[in-house]
Chains A and B, each alone.
Chain A
Amino acid sequence: MQDTLEFEPTAYHVRASNEGTALDISDFNLWYGQKQALFDNNLKIGKGQVTAMIGPSGCGKSTLLRCLNRMNDLVDDLTITGQIAVDGFDIYAKGVDVIALRKRMGMVFQKPNPFAMSIYDNITYPLRVDGVTKKSILDETVERALTQAALWKEVKDRLNDSALGLSGGQQQRLCIARAVASDPEVLLMDEPCSALDPIATARIEELIEELKGTYSIVIVTHSMAQAARVSDNTAFMYLGRLIEYGDTDTIFTNPQKSRTNDYVTGRFG
């Protein structure tokens, strides 16, 4: 089944953002060792928009997401060609400060991963590693981030309790709060609801709705319903290729590619 759509060009019908482009991925290829995982991906992610990435398992959507803040640097034997630009600035150029880059990109992972510290210390962690020690700034950040993550009311009286004592949904919102604490430009979410129950999922989706506009959000999801609910644009990937990228409504109601149609109607994947 490999390479049946080798030369088929990607279908684009993107709803453009008013504020321009946050991330510009062009001709992006990636190899794990000898095995190519991403093929010539080209997409622009609009500022302030929510962009969903969907596709069957192993299609490369998580890989692409993790390239956006260079999380894949941890993987040995990785080869990359092409460019990813944040505000017109290539993040894979030589001499890029990866740490500074990651500070511009908050990331939320599949499973909630709070550190074994207090809630307060979890939220302030991105600031403290940056050398911020001033109590007033830290306090202010904790309140802002927790409010943004819709967690402030629940935990404001126990900020010094261990974060591990929170429920799964609360932990994931804590991780979102931690991701927005350093006030990044882009929020990367790697299947943020896959370990949560429907009620917690609904809360996170509400949260994404609220954060939209403040941050450019890229969300990888397995749930097509979720993508349809929360995103402005949707990218459908298959076998490392970007098949179709465009307005979410169109993708789900009137896709231009038959493969996209098959996927969103549940015929495969």
Chain B
Amino acid sequence: MTSMNEQMPPASTAAGVAGVAAREAVAPKRARRRYSADLSALGEPALWGFGGALALGIIMIAVFLMVVLYNGATTFWPKPIDRVELTDGTVIAGTERRGTLFRPQLAPLDAETRALIEENDGFAFRTLYQTANFDLYGDDFRWVADFETATITQPEDFYYFERQVWGVFIGRIAGMQIAGQQIDYDPAVFRREQAAARARFREIRQIERREIGRINHYIERERLAQRRAVLRQGEEAAQPAVLASQARIAELQAEFQVLQARVNEIRALDRSFTVTLEEVNGRQISPEISQIVRFFPANTLSIFDKIGIYLSRWWEFVSAEPREANTQGGVLPAIFGTVAMTLLMVVFVAPFGVITALYLREYAKQGRITSMVRISVNNLAGVPSIVYGVFGLGFFAYAMGGTIDQLFYPEALPNPTFGKGGILWASLTLALLTVPVVIVATEEALSAVPRSMREGSLACGASKWQTIRFVVLPKAMPGIMTGMILAMARGAGEVAPLMLVGVVKLAPALPIDGFAPFIHLDRSFMHLGFHIFDVGFQSRNSEAGKPMVFVTTLLLLALIIVMNATAIIVRNRLKRKYATGQF
């Protein structure tokens, strides 16, 4: 584009002045041609565009990951407690959460402050404090504007308590009652007693969950067995069985009474160990020491103490059950549910998808119908996932589950066994959702196997199935595994359909436990993705749940990465295994 001027020959400049004769002597000068292409032909602008698009994508993902990583990683770091005196005399204590600029109401302020704010274009800075003590204040958080702050101190005797119920308490320890004796606060004694009290708490939980749970389970089983006997054999014929069963129930109930008495005993003991906590304005509460999950003097921690607390919080997060409407405690049931459901989904989707693709690519006559099926499969991948959820609920849970209940669990009706959402229906729904991914990937992998390989095998006298089994499938296996990995990633991250087919906010029991048949596919389960939604947007106090959103997101990402990495390692091993051909 820029070369137009240069290409014009300087025809008649010097020669023109010299006259006609001179012109003849000089050979007509050829325009100098530039052999380089212009910028657009070289592809430079396109290259910048491609590179820019890639960079933009990477930057967006990197920023997203960094936001998640930063917020997730810092959530569990213990923060100091500020005691803030306001200009109006109120005193609050809390840990700083975040700060923003805001536009305060100017009318009620005094002239000096108002002038200051107006200087800042009407903006002032405010800080959100986690004041905790929900049972006393009815709120966990409080905004404090800079202009209302008089003094901020960090008193050394303030503690941060994480409680079993009511969430966090921030305040001093005023005294404690050990075995009924009122004594002064002594850190060593309190530490010891807190550990002992937690042990008592765990013992009670152990008895309630494990042993009483077991007895309830067996009583329920006996009750159902009675109803089944009556339903099958009629009232009269079932009489002996019912009587025997009732005797067993009576035995179990006696056992239950013993355990209950033991629990009550521990509870009574537990009630004689209390601690008196005093919030910043002097109001006191006296919970049992066993209610204190974790406590620390937030303003006198050394770096090692902080690291210890940080790690212990992470450990609790990945190994314990949730507390306080999921905003505190751990997510173990959700981790378990996510992994179990994803693996179950793979178990369903892998054979189904691969067999379908094998038929479509290898056996079906390639024609109008096959390509219509193929287009439909591709379109299935674009159906909104909630539609799958509705289908899963209607077809799997209500229709199939309802039928199963009528045939196999009539004694439990009207309570549904399989006729409601559960981990089986959830993983089947997700299998349905991800099967197009597997089919498309498998078909692609199969069609990438060179024709010469198939012909080589057929020429050896192998049948079509032998060719597929020994030559085509091994060669396509890495590609099939890639499809499986994609399906797994999609399935593990899906939430919307699960809300309809079995995910719950808080599952009473895991889908796998110690009672026969050990794997309970009918049970509802918790899921990390739903946990994020629930904690962040459905809890009583979204501010309290916000940090958990990031931590849970971080965990979910980590979990998906781990599952994918495992699948990739398996794929690479398969690749190597089939490369040496020991089948």
Which A residues form the contact surface with B (CB < 8 A)?
69, 71, 74, 76, 99-100, 102-103, 105-107, 109-111, 113-118, 121-122, 125-126, 129-130, 160-162, 164, 175, 178-179, 182
Tell me the complex Cα distance, A186–B454, Å.
20
Residues of chain B lying within 8 A (CB to CB) of residue A107? 455, 459
Least distance between A158 CB and chain B CB atoms (Å)? 12
Q: Could you tell me the distance between the alpha carbons of A161 and B475 in the complex, rounded to whole angstroms?
A: 17
Residue B89, interface by CB 8 Å: no
Residues of B within 8 A of A76 (CB): 365-366
Question: Could you tell me if A102 and B458 are in contact, using CB atoms closer than 8 angstroms?
Answer: yes
Give 7 A-B contacts (CB < 8 Å), ordered by A residue: A109-B455, A115-B470, A121-B583, A126-B460, A129-B466, A162-B580, A164-B579
Known: A115-B581, A118-B582, A129-B466. A182 touches B460 (CB 8 A): yes
Q: Are B581 and A129 touching (Cβ within 8 A)?
A: no
Inside 8 A of B470's CB, which chain A residues have their CB? 115, 125, 129
B452 and A113 contacting across the interface, CB-CB below 8 Å: yes
Contact (Cβ within 8 A) A118 B462: no
Q: Given A102-B459, A126-B461, A182-B461, check contact A116 B474 (CB 8 Å).
A: yes
Judge whether A117 and B581 touch: CB under 8 Å.
yes
Q: A102 to B580, Cβ gap below 8 A?
A: no
Q: B49 an interface residue at 8 Å Cβ cutoff? A: no
* Max chain B Cβ within 10 angstroms of own Cβ: one of A71, A74, A113: A113
Question: Which residues 439-491 of B sit at the A interface, judged by CB distance below 8 A?
Answer: 450, 452-463, 466, 470-471, 474-475
Do A74 and B580 contact each other (CB < 8 Å), given the known contacts A125-B460, A129-B461?
no
Nearest-neighbour CB distance to chain B for A138, whole angstroms, equals 14
Given contacts A74-B455, A113-B455, A115-B471, are A121 and B463 in contact (CB under 8 A)? no
Bound Cα distance from A103 to B458, whole angstroms: 9
Q: Which B residue sits closest to A128, measured CB to CB?
A: B470
- Asked if B533 CB lies within 8 Å of chain A CBs, one says no
CB-CB under 8 A from A116, the residues of chain B are 474-475, 578-579, 581
List, in ascending order, chain A residues with CB within 8 A of B461's CB.
99-100, 102-103, 126, 129-130, 182
- Are B455 and A71 in touch, CB under 8 angstroms? yes
- The minimal Cβ–Cβ distance linking B534 to chain A, given in whole angstroms, is 48
Q: Which residues of A contact B475 (CB under 8 A)?
A: 116
Q: Which residues of A contact B456 (CB under 8 A)?
A: 109, 113-115, 175, 178
> With the chains together, A71 CA to B578 CA distance in Å?
26
Residues of A within 8 A of B462 (CB): 99, 125-126, 129
Most buried by B among A71, A114, A129, A178: A129
A121 nearest CB neighbor, chain B only: B581
Residue of B nearest to A165 (CB): B579
* Distance of A238 from chain B, by nearest CB (Å): 26
Closest to B475 in A: A116
Q: Is the CB of A109 within 8 A of B452?
A: yes
Q: Are B452 and A71 in contact (CB under 8 A)?
A: no
Among residues of B, the one whose C-beta sits closest to the C-beta of A122 is: B581
A118 with B581: in contact, given A71-B455, A74-B455, A113-B452 (CB under 8 Å)? yes
Q: In the docked arrangement, what's the CA distance between A106 and B459, Å?
A: 7
Interface flags for B550-583 (1: CB within 8 Å of A; 0: not) read: 0000000000000000000000000000111111
Complex alpha-carbon distance, A27 and B160, angstroms: 98
Tell me which of A71, A115, A161, A162 has the highest count of chain B C-beta atoms within 10 A of its own C-beta.
Answer: A115
Expressed in whole angstroms, the Cα–Cα distance for A76 and B466 within the complex equals 21
A182 to B453, CA, bound (A): 18
| A125 close to B457 (CB less than 8 A) | yes
Q: Which residue of B456, B458, B459, B463 has the most chain A CB atoms within 10 A of its CB atom?
A: B459
Complex CA distance for A110 and B365, rounded to whole angstroms: 27
B456 smallest CB distance to A (angstroms)? 4
List residues of chain A with CB within 8 A of the CB of B578. 116-117
Interface centre among B458, B461, B578 (most CB of A within 10 A): B461
Task: Check A71–B457 contact: CB distance below 8 A.
Answer: no
Cβ A69 vs Cβ B453 within 8 A: no
- B573 CB to nearest A CB, Å: 15
Closest to A126 in B: B460
Chain A residue, CB-CB nearest to B367:
A76
Known: A113-B450, A129-B463, A182-B460. 10 other contacts (CB 8 A): A69-B459, A71-B455, A76-B366, A113-B453, A115-B456, A116-B581, A118-B581, A121-B582, A126-B460, A164-B579
**Chain B nearest CB: distance from A67 CB in Å?**
13
Q: Which residues of B contact A106 (CB under 8 A)?
A: 459
Min C-beta distance of A215 to chain B, whole Å: 14
Structural contact, A129 and B474, CB atoms closer than 8 A: no
Interface core residue of B366, B474, B579, B583 (most chain A CB under 10 Å): B579
A118 to B460, CA, bound (A): 16
Which B-chain residue is minimally distant from A116 (CB atoms)?
A: B579
Q: Which 7 A-B pairs have the closest CB atoms?
A: A117-B581, A103-B461, A107-B459, A126-B460, A113-B452, A129-B462, A113-B456
Contacts of A179 in B (CB 8 A): 459-460
Residues of A close to B455: CB separation below 8 A: 71, 74, 107, 109, 113
B339 to chain A, nearest CB (A): 33
**Minimum CB distance partner of A163 in chain B:** B581
Chain B nearest CB, measured from A180 CB (Å) = 11
Chain B residues with Cβ below 8 Å from A117 are 578, 580-581, 583
Chain B residues lying within 8 Å of A74, measured Cβ to Cβ, are 454-455, 458
**Smallest distance from the beta carbon of A269 to chain B beta carbons, Å?**
26
A102, A160, A175, A179 pick with most chain B CB within 10 angstroms: A102
Q: Which residues of B contact A182 (CB under 8 A)?
A: 460-461
Kindly report which residue of chain B lies nearest to residue A110, judged by CB atoms.
B452
B319 CB → nearest A CB, Å: 44
Determine the residue in chain B with the shortest Cβ distance to A160: B580
Which A residues lie within 8 Å of B580 (CB)?
117-118, 160-162
Q: How far is the CA of A105 from the CA of B579 in the complex (A)?
A: 27
Residues of chain B with a CB closer than 8 A to A110's CB: 452
A175 to chain B: which residues have CB within 8 Å? 456
Cβ-neighbour of A162 out of B457, B459, B474, B581 (below 8 A): B581
Closest to B452 in A: A113
Task: State the Cβ distance, B163 to closest chain A Cβ, in Å.
Answer: 62
CB A135 to nearest CB in B, in angstroms, measures 14
B452 touches A129 (CB 8 A): no
A161 to B471, CA, bound (A): 17
Most buried by A among B454, B456, B463: B456
**Would you call B453 and A115 a contact (CB within 8 A)?**
yes
Query: In the assembled complex, how far is the CB of residue A164 from the closest CB belonging to chain B, in whole angstroms?
Result: 7
Q: How far is the CB of A196 from chain B (nearest CB, A)?
A: 15
When chains A and B are docked, how far (Å) is the Cα of A106 from the Cα of B475?
Answer: 23
